[in-house]
Structure 1
Amino acid sequence: MRFGVIGAGSWGTAFSKLLIENGHEVVIWARRKDLANEINTYHTNRKYLGNAQLPELLRASTDLIETVARSDIVVLAVPVKYLEPVLERIKIPKIVLNLSKGIDRKNRTVSRIVQSLLPNAEYLVLSGPSHAEEVIRRLPTSVVLAGKNEKLCREIQKRVNSEYFRVYTSTDVLGVEICGSVKNVIAIGAGILDGLGGWDNAKAALMTRGLYEMVKFGTAYGAQNPLTFMGLAGIGDLLVTCMSQHSRNRYVGEMIGKGKKLQDILQNMSMVAEGVYTVKPLLELASEKKIEMPVCQQVKEILYEGKNIQNAMKDLMNRSLKPEIRLKELMNFDQGPQL
């Protein structure tokens, strides 16, 4: 099977290596000519993956149209904020396999962006605790592949699964996408606590309450199955993003916790921390449905309004007392208006 991978960052490159190891033909699209030349000549991607050696069969191209035209499946591996202009150049409806996580400035998940620009494309999303830095080293990784077309989903599952990369399937596309979007915001909060010195009690509470916010948001916006949030795309990805040294979102939070300015942090990063750009549209959507997301709200105020971290924590700790779980907030799965 022929795959066209759109985006030569760390995840797009690591996923391309996996596909070639599984016997597929892969062309990876790189925006920069020097990066495409490096992949084709030296079989490395040093900016994103250090000294990791890439398969000689992996071919990089700067021609987006050719990359798409020569593929059976288009793999999206670019930051969500850059996705729309890329998709606008793709005219051929294909099978689209999305690796990107986030909500764009128009308050859309990736499936909605794809649907608006490529309405006839078959769409699948792959998500879970899968840092490229470990996948490239063939370390054991498990993910979930979600799609409405169950037959196609099972077929792609077989094509992508390997001895070190285990793939499960789901039909809950929106649930998986919501997990991947919200967890990045929570991870920034977890990183802030790391920057303050690594407060274990507070971090565990923040992750748990953040998961509850994720479930509430998913309930209101069309997630299909509450167990999605307990799976690899939900708690699995949340754990690794909040705890791993590879996590860009956790890193941004850690630097904020150490007193750095957001703009300075972003200028010195070679990769995108999606949570920074997701938090505003996420909270706009939450506000439309009157969903309380206090952890995400405090992250936004710290990032964009210069709120003092200690004051943010006081505001979280001094909220009105209530039961830990309110079932009425969790009983409307697959009934709310979808994103």
Structure 2
Amino acid sequence: MKQKIAVLGPGSWGTALAQVLVENGHETILWGKNPAQVKEINEQHTNHHYLPDLILPTELKATISLEEAIKDADALLFVIPTKAIREVAHQVAAIVENQPYIIHASKGLEQISHKRISEVLAEEIPEDKRKEIIVLSGPSHAEEVAVHDITTITAASPELDAATYVQELFMNEYFRIYTNDDVIGVELGAALKNIIALGAGAMVGLGFGDNAKAAIMTRGLAEISRLGVALGANPLTFIGLSGVGDLIVTCTSVHSRNWRTGQLLGQGKKLEEILNNMGMIVEGVSTTKAALELSKQLGVEMPITEAIHSVLYEGKDIKIAAKDIMLRDGRIENEFS
């Protein structure tokens, strides 16, 4: 059944997902705040800043009017930076007239509150103004989805009918969706893997090889799982697409902004300079702070996250941070610590 979908956020991932929706026959409109970008999408059918080699379907439309984008939409897809979620959700709640599904494909934790994105959306958009909230997440680079590389990700909601709705919206021969009811696990896997990707990139920047990459990914997954389980997630989620799958793709690819940021840090570049030149949000930087604060509240040990925090926020030399991780007291691996 043809649906109207408003995609809020015309970055690389929002644009790639919008393209999937259009190709699946849905009426799709991208909302963004930059008039020049919106004009480019509508007139040139390109989004050069984010996906420079992509020619977009002519059926895809864009607008700077949030009201126009969400009017009569069957679903709203949030694909914006975590720090903007609450503000935009509040704006949506003030003008939405029907009850759309709320989908989000953003990856992070809100600063100070440490809340997951679905929690923020639920707070800002009352139940009488929406249907269920669904999380869309998993191992996916926008650059590859845009050229129809085979991709599999997860749609998560406590109501499996809602997850199935999203599954049916997006499924095609190159984009496969699995359903899951573990929203906590899917969101935390999505957010926390960006921290580990910073570390994985740093290992490469420091000149270490595959052994170091395997070590940080494996022990990073242990940290993600510990925090997730403490918050009520199903541990099996972390060996699925939104756990180890997303961790692999984010920790091993130059497409990953978090990996590239870590690599540059390992090469001695300053964080401020890296972020200024990246041109896009690096969610792992802010997520590191939120995750460490949350782990301390819960009494969950996250040594890799703590080491990365010390480099990002405390000025610690990255070589010393890596050495200190290796010299921690010995552990039994299956103690989950």
Query: Is this a same-fold pair by TM over 0.5?
Result: yes
2:105 to 99, 102, 122: 99
Deviation at 1:158, TM superposition (A): 1.5
Unaligned residue ranges in structure 2 (runs of 5+)? none
Q: Which residue of 1 aligns with 2:274?
A: 265
RMSD of equivalent CA atoms:
1.1
Q: Give unmatched runs, 5+ long, in structure 1.
A: 330-339
Q: Output the CA distance in 2 between the equivalents of 1:127 and 1:156.
A: 11
- Contact 1:187-1:249 within 8 A present in 2 as well: yes
The AA in structure 1 aligned to 2:153 is V
Taking the TM superposition and a 5 Å limit, the aligned residue runs for 1:88-167 are 88-91=90-93, 92=96, 93-105=99-111, 106-120=113-127, 121=130, 122-167=132-177
Q: Which moved more, 1:3-12 or 1:92-101?
A: 92-101
- Percent identical among aligned pairs is 44
Which of 58, 77, 80 is the equivalent residue of 1:78? 80
CA offsets 1:79-127 (integer angstroms, 9 cap, x no match) = 1011111111012353111100000112111011011101313100011
The separation in 2 between residues aligned to 1:126 and 1:148, in whole angstroms, is 13
In structure 2, the partner of 1:168 is 178
1:65–1:89 CA contact under 8 A, matched in 2: no
Q: Which has the higher contact order (CA 8 A, sep 6+)?
A: 1
CA contact (8 A) 2:107 2:187 kept: yes
Partners of 1:316 and 1:155 in 2: CA distance = 44
Once residues 159 and 218 of structure 1 are traced to their aligned partners in structure 2, the CA distance between those partners, rounded to angstroms, is 28
Which of 60, 63, 79 is matched with 2:62 structurally?
A: 60
Equivalent residue number for residue 336 of structure 1: none
**CA offset digits 1:210-239 (Å, max 9, x no partner):** 00000000010111x211000000000000
AA matched with 1:34? A
Give the counterpart letter for 1:181 in structure 2. A
| Pairing of 1:285-304 with structure 2 (within 5 A) | 285-304=294-313
State the alpha-carbon separation in 2 of the partners of residues 7 and 283 from structure 1: 28
Choose which of 248, 260, 266 in structure 1 pairs with 2:257. 248
Conservation of the 8 A alpha-carbon contact between 2:206 and 2:319: no
Instruction: Identify the residue that residue 6 of structure 2 maps to in structure 1.
Output: 4
How far, CA to CA, are the matches of 1:316 and 1:281 in structure 2? Answer: 20
- Tell me if structure 2 keeps the 8 A contact 1:191–1:251: yes
3-state secondary structure, aligned to 1:166: strand
Match of 1:335 in 2: none
Paired with 1:220 and 1:312, the residues of 2 have a C-alpha distance of 26
Q: Please give the alpha-carbon distance, in whole angstroms, between the structure 2 residues aligned to 1:239 and 1:47.
A: 26
Following the alignment from structure 2 to structure 1, what is the Cα–Cα distance between the partners of residues 90 and 283? 21
- Give SS of 1:46's match: coil
Give the structure-2-normalised TM-score.
Answer: 0.95
Count of equivalent residues: 327
- Secondary structure of residue in 2 paired with 1:210: helix
